[in-house]
């Protein structure tokens, strides 16, 4: 079977076939670095990571680009609202450049904690102003741009495929739009490519351009940077589903009119939201949870990665601490099984057929639009299968982990430091067990549990785990 991916363009699962042999060019919209990234956004980056790991696992040669937006993104994805970077700078009384650096570092730390691999290329928007100006010039030369009120606009009415990706109904959109009309725009869905007339007097980031000193619209950076590193046409573009109707629609319009090639990108993949209560998580509502918020509550960051794997990336995932606890239990269960398997050195042969069956099922799962719940089910099936030796079980799990990224090979015993009180109780319990006084031993175990520790009797002796 071949890799099948759900393409937003066709609203269907399609067999994945790169433009060039086994070489894959992939672009992911990265973070806007004006604030910490919330766990809802981090889910999208876990999804990107699973996709990139899957492609490599299946033998594709990958070049993955993820941008850092440090200019131009307004609080609305369309051209309305405040400048996000300026908003961060005002809030924290720092320069926009300091804000960008601080939150880029924070983001990179988060993705590292989630065991997300670093994309091959991570370009910053502010380092690519020249490329943005060049592509705007092409769009203008080809007749799809106009200047009004000092800004350069994209004329969406001239690009007939404008509605394709998001299946837009432009008349309906205009009717229901609540934002005040920009008088310079010829059509409701036109958007800014270059601003020279800033609404923000204290705009710090400005560059010279053929249209005057100013700064780029948000969407142009992705068209400019993706094509700089991946060519005028490439294989995969990813992002959160909220980017479909404006940002990605505008990216396609810009790139196809600049380069005259269609489709600009062959496969568009979008990750669903994390739902908190009834709403999607967003920064603007001030209800956002960071990865650090979970760490502060005692969760290992990798537990959040495991939680993300429990649902397909195209399904909404409901976040609650109960659900996160369930993920933690499952993850810790897996961890202790892997640690146990490592200790076993008994020689036993595996049933080759059984082993191959699990391998095939895992590959089928990842090839089925990177279906992680199915892939995890294979992991548990392997652990349960008596026809496979412990050594081979480990081998399979380590291999599967190239996609899952849960760090099976790096699992270590947690060093548990217990208080003197707990130590004394453990010794007391051991004495009771030697005397076969099971009632007392159980009572002491409950006491230890109340103090926050689980006691397990293993062949190697008593094991203490923090609850």
Nearest in space to 80 (alpha carbons), one of 165, 192, 168: 192
Interacting residues with Zn ion (CB under 5 A): 29, 222
Cis before 263? omega within 30: yes
Please identify, using beta-carbon distances, which residue of 222 and 455 lies nearer to Zn ion. Answer: 222
Rounded Cα distance between 272 and 290, Å, is: 18
Please identify, using beta-carbon distances, which residue of 31 and 405 lies nearer to Zn ion. Answer: 31
Please identify, using beta-carbon distances, which residue of 5 and 29 lies nearer to Zn ion. Answer: 29
* CB-based contacts of 231, cutoff 8 Å, min separation 6: 25
State whether residue 319 is helix, strand or coil.
Answer: strand
Please identify, using beta-carbon distances, which residue of 32 and 350 lies nearer to Zn ion. Answer: 32
CB of 242 to Zn ion, least distance (A): 11
Please identify, using beta-carbon distances, which residue of 156 and 390 lies nearer to Zn ion. Answer: 156
Please identify, using beta-carbon distances, which residue of 29 and 33 lies nearer to Zn ion. Answer: 29
CB of 200 to Zn ion, least distance (A): 22
Rounded Cα distance between 86 and 203, Å, is: 7
Rounded Cα distance between 25 and 317, Å, is: 28
CB of 353 to Zn ion, least distance (A): 47
CB of 216 to Zn ion, least distance (A): 12
CB of 250 to Zn ion, least distance (A): 9
CB of 18 to Zn ion, least distance (A): 21
Phi-psi group of 206: left, alpha or beta (phi > 0 → left; psi -120 to 50 → alpha; rest → beta): beta
CB of 173 to Zn ion, least distance (A): 20
CB of 273 to Zn ion, least distance (A): 17
Please identify, using beta-carbon distances, which residue of 29 and 375 lies nearer to Zn ion. Answer: 29
Q: Strands across the sheet with 145-148, in order?
A: 145-148, 151-154, 191-195, 215-216
CB of 219 to Zn ion, least distance (A): 7
Rounded Cα distance between 70 and 105, Å, is: 12
Residue 24 near residue 13 (C-beta atoms within 8 A) = no
Q: Is 124 exposed, middle or buried (0-12, 13-18, 19+ CB in 10 A)?
A: middle
State whether residue 357 is helix, strand or coil.
Answer: helix
What string of H, E and C letters represents the secondary structure of 368-420?
Answer: ECCCHHHHHHHHHHHHHCCCCCHHHHHHHHHHHHHHHCCCHHHCCCCCCCCCH
Please identify, using beta-carbon distances, which residue of 29 and 116 lies nearer to Zn ion. Answer: 29
How distant, in Å, are the alpha carbons of 131, 166, 251, 315, 324 from that of 308?
36, 25, 28, 10, 10
Please identify, using beta-carbon distances, which residue of 44 and 389 lies nearer to Zn ion. Answer: 44
Please identify, using beta-carbon distances, which residue of 135 and 222 lies nearer to Zn ion. Answer: 222
CB of 225 to Zn ion, least distance (A): 9
CB of 424 to Zn ion, least distance (A): 60
Please identify, using beta-carbon distances, which residue of 28 and 189 lies nearer to Zn ion. Answer: 28
Residue 221 near residue 186 (C-beta atoms within 8 A) = no
State whether residue 273 is helix, strand or coil.
Answer: coil
Alpha carbon distance, N-terminus to C-terminus of the chain: 43
* CB-based contacts of 396, cutoff 8 Å, min separation 6: 355, 358, 359, 362, 382, 388
């Amino acid at each position: 079977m071949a890799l099948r991916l759900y393409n937003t363009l066709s609203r269907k699962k399609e067999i994945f076939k790169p433009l060039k042999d086994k070489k894959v060019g992939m672009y992911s919209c990265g973070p806007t670095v004006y604030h910490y990234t919330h766990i809802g956004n981090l889910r999208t980056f876990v999804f990107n990571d699973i996709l990139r790991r899957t492609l490599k696992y299946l033998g594709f040669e990958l070049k993955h680009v993820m941008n850092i937006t440090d200019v131009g993104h307004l609080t609305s994805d369309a051209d309305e609202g405040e400048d996000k970077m300026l908003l961060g700078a005002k809030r924290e009384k720092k320069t926009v450049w300091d804000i960008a650096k601080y939150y880029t570092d924070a983001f990179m730390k988060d993705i590292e904690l989630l065991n997300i691999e670093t994309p091959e290329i991570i370009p910053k928007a502010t380092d690519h102003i020249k490329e943005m100006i060049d592509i705007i010039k092409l769009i203008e030369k080809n007749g799809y741009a106009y200047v009004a009120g000092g800004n350069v606009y994209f004329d969406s009415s001239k690009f007939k495929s404008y509605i394709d990706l998001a299946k837009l109904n432009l008349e309906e959109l205009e009717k229901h739009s609540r934002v005040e009309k920009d008088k310079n725009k010829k059509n409701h869905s036109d958007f800014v490519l270059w601003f020279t007339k800033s609404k923000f007097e204290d705009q710090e980031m400005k560059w010279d351009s053929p249209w005057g000193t100013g700064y780029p619209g948000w969407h142009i950076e992705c068209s400019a940077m993706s094509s700089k590193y991946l060519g005028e046409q490439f294989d995969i573009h990813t992002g959160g589903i909220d980017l479909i109707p404006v940002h990605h629609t505008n990216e396609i319009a810009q790139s196809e009119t600049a380069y005259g090639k269609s489709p600009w990108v062959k496969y568009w993949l979008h990750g669903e939201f994390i739902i908190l209560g009834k709403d999607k998580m967003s920064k603007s509502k001030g209800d956002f949870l960071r990865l650090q918020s979970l760490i502060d509550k005692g969760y290992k960051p990798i537990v959040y990665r495991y939680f993300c794997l429990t649902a397909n990336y195209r399904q909404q995932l409901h976040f609650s601490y109960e659900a996160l606890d369930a993920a933690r239990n499952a993850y810790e269960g897996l961890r202790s099984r892997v640690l146990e398997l490592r200790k076993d050195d008994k020689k036993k042969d595996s049933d080759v057929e059984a082993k191959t069956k699990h391998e095939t099922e895992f590959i089928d799962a990842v090839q089925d639009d990177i279906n992680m719940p199915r892939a995890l089910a294979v992991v548990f099936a392997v652990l349960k299968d008596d026809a496979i030796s412990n050594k081979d079980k480990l081998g399979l799990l380590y291999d599967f982990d190239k996609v899952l990224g849960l760090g099976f090979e790096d699992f270590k015993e947690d060093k548990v430091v217990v208080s003197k009180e707990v130590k004394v109780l453990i010794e007391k319990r051991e004495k009771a067990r030697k005397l076969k006084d099971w009632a007392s031993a159980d009572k002491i175990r409950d006491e230890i549990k109340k103090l926050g520790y689980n006691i397990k009797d293993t062949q190697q002796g008593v094991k203490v785990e923090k609850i």
